[in-house]
């Protein structure tokens, strides 16, 4: 089964981002992290694609998903198909 490519736009001080990051770390899900303040190109790309700079935003195979609870639920519902980080 295909494991979707996951990219998370976030920033560390965002409490909603921290909720999503906790689920990712707890379940060792492989995600590309794109901090919108550490690298302003990430914010520009997010704005260009979605028209918003709202985070967290999880791109799932190129499709954006907003809202931390929606992201957390999706991650937990799809755990069996998600690639895990090698330890």
Residue in this structure with the two tokens 């909720």, named with its chain if needed: 19
pLDDT of residue 11 exceeding 90, the answer is yes
Whole-number pLDDT of residue 86: 83
Q: What is the distance between the alpha carbons of residues 87 and 82, in angstroms, rounded to a whole number?
A: 15
Kindly state the percentage of the chain with pLDDT values over 70: 98
Q: Which ranges of 1-87 does DSSP label H, i.e. alpha helix?
A: 15-26, 40-50, 68-77
Whole-number pLDDT of residue 35: 98
Classify domain 14-81 by CATH number: 3.40.30.10
pLDDT of residue 1 exceeding 80, the answer is no
pLDDT of residue 12 exceeding 90, the answer is yes
pLDDT band at 2, cuts 50/70/90? confident
């Amino acid at each position: 089964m295909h494991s979707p490519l996951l990219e998370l736009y976030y920033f560390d001080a965002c409490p909603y981002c921290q909720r999503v990051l906790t689920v990712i770390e707890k379940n060792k899900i492989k995600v590309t992290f794109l901090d919108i303040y550490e690298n302003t190109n990430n914010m520009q790309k997010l704005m260009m694609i979605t028209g918003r700079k709202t985070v967290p935003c999880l791109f799932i195979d190129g499709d954006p998903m907003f809202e931390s609870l929606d992201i957390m639920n999706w991650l937990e519902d799809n755990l069996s198909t998600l690639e895990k980080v090698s330890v």
